[in-house]
Amino acid sequence: MNAALPYDSDRLAQCARDIIVNVRELSARGWTPATSSNFSQRIDAHHVAITVSGRDKGKLTESDIMVVDVDGRPVATELKSSAETLLHTQLYKRFPDIGCVLHTHSHNQTVASRLYAGMGHVHLEGYELLKAFSGNTTHDTEIDVPVFANTQDMHTLAAQVDALLDRQPLWGYLIDGHGLYAWGRDMAEARRHLEAFEFLLGCELDLRRLRS
Ligand SMILES: CSCCC(=O)C(=O)COP(=O)(O)O
Ligand SMILES: [Zn+2]
Task: Please check whether residue 1 lies inside any domain of the structure.
Answer: no
Domain assignment present for 198: yes
Residue at 28 is within a domain: yes
User: For residue 54, which ligand has an atom nearest its CA?
Assistant: 1
Residue 1: what pLDDT?
Answer: 63
> What range defines the domain where residue 57 resides?
9-211
Beta-ladder partners of 40 = 50, 101
105 assigned ligand-binding residue: yes
- In a domain? residue 176: yes
pLDDT interval class at 3 (50, 70, 90): confident
4 in a structural domain: no
For the domain that residue 48 is a member of, what is the CATH number?
3.40.225.10
Q: Tell whether 2 is covered by a domain.
A: no
Q: Classify residue 161: in a domain, yes or no.
A: yes
| pLDDT tens for each residue of 32-86 | 999 999 999 999 999 999 999 999 999 999 999 999 999 999 999 999 999 999 9
Q: What are phi and psi of 176, to 5 degrees?
A: -60, 125
Ligand 1, atom 2, residue with closest C-alpha: 36
Which residue has the least CA distance to atom 1 on ligand 1? 36
pLDDT of 2 over the 80 cut: no
CA of 183 to the centre of ligand 1 (A): 17
The amino acid present at 52, given as its one-letter code, is V
Could you give phi then psi for residue 114, rounded to 5 degrees? -70, -45
Rounded distance from Cα 153 to ligand 1 centre (Å): 13
Q: How far apart are CA 204 and CA 206, in angstroms?
A: 5
* Nearest partner of 43 among 193, 186, 190, 189, judged by Cα: 186
Model pLDDT for residues 130-163, shown as the tens digit of each residue:
999 999 888 788 999 999 999 999 999 999 999 9
Domain-located, residue 94: yes
* Pocket lining for ligand 1, CB < 6 angstroms: 34-38, 51, 53-54, 82-84, 103, 178
Tens-place pLDDT, residues 160-192? 999 999 999 999 999 999 999 999 999 999 999
Strand, coil or helix: 142: strand
Q: Domain count for the chain, please give it.
A: 1
> Does ipTM exceed 0.90?
yes
pTM: 0.98
Ligand nearest to the CA of 109: 2
